[in-house]
Amino acid sequence: MNTSIRLTTAGLALLVSTFAGRAETSGARPLAPMVQTISVTLTRIAALPVTAPATDTELKALAKGCHAALTALAKRLGDQAVPEDYVSDLTRAHGILTAMAAKPNLAADDLARLKAVSDDIHAKRRWADKHHDAPTGPVTLEVATAKGKASVGSYDVWSRSALDEQTEPVQPATVSDEPRRISLRPGNYVLWLRSRGATPADGARREFAADGAPMRVELVAP
């Protein structure tokens, strides 16, 4: 079978499903079509002009590094289907990259977005490289308060993807009793503690790579 034809056909089906908003029922998707689509978009981005203070060298280095991590991740996962929420992260990343690729030139804030996408993919790749039996996670993290000044059990642990600030925050799917543990898919996140009660307050937010090193994160209590 011609692999490139198979991926192109599957990629078209995936994009139609994603952008038409049809519900997925299988709970898992192949990763290869999305990898192929992101790779093409990265190539387009790397060819765009940039405006100061951003430089062409910075752009090409970021695009190259992101593409290398993505290729390594795809090789590690192979043809296996991956969880829906895992692919959703890459779909969100592709949306950010597509918006960048449509611009006539790129500025420093665009390179910051590209770096955020690259950091997330690198975190996924690092986890997959070390955990062949569960390359898509989940990653279990122990959560503690900074300097142990308060019991983390008094708060809820919130998170959002670090891909962009518009990502809706969510509580982790799994939060256990002391020691407090949360489960996340591999990737780059913003984590924080939120107090309980009628007027909840948030602690300082921290960007954290859920890649298995370390497996403990300290967060500032509100």
pLDDT at 26: 46
Confidence at residue 28, expressed as pLDDT on a 0 to 100 scale? 64
CB neighbours of 198 closer than 8 A, spacing ≥ 6? none
Distance CA(67)–CA(48), nearest Å, equals 16
144 with 69, same domain: the answer is: no
Please check whether residues 125 and 170 belong to one and the same domain: no
- Which residues, 6 or more positions from 9, have their beta carbon under 8 angstroms from its beta carbon? none
Same domain for 104 and 158? Answer: no
Q: What is the pLDDT of residue 188?
A: 96
Give yes or no: residues 61 and 81 share one domain.
Answer: yes
Q: Are residues 13 and 73 in the same domain?
A: yes
pLDDT in tens, the chain (222 residues): 433 323 333 443 343 343 333 334 345 666 888 899 999 999 999 999 999 999 999 999 999 999 999 999 999 998 888 998 898 889 999 999 999 999 999 999 999 999 999 999 999 999 999 999 999 999 999 998 887 667 787 888 999 999 987 778 887 766 766 678 889 999 999 999 998 888 999 999 999 999 998 899 999 988
Give the global pTM.
0.83
- Residues of the domain holding 126: 3-130
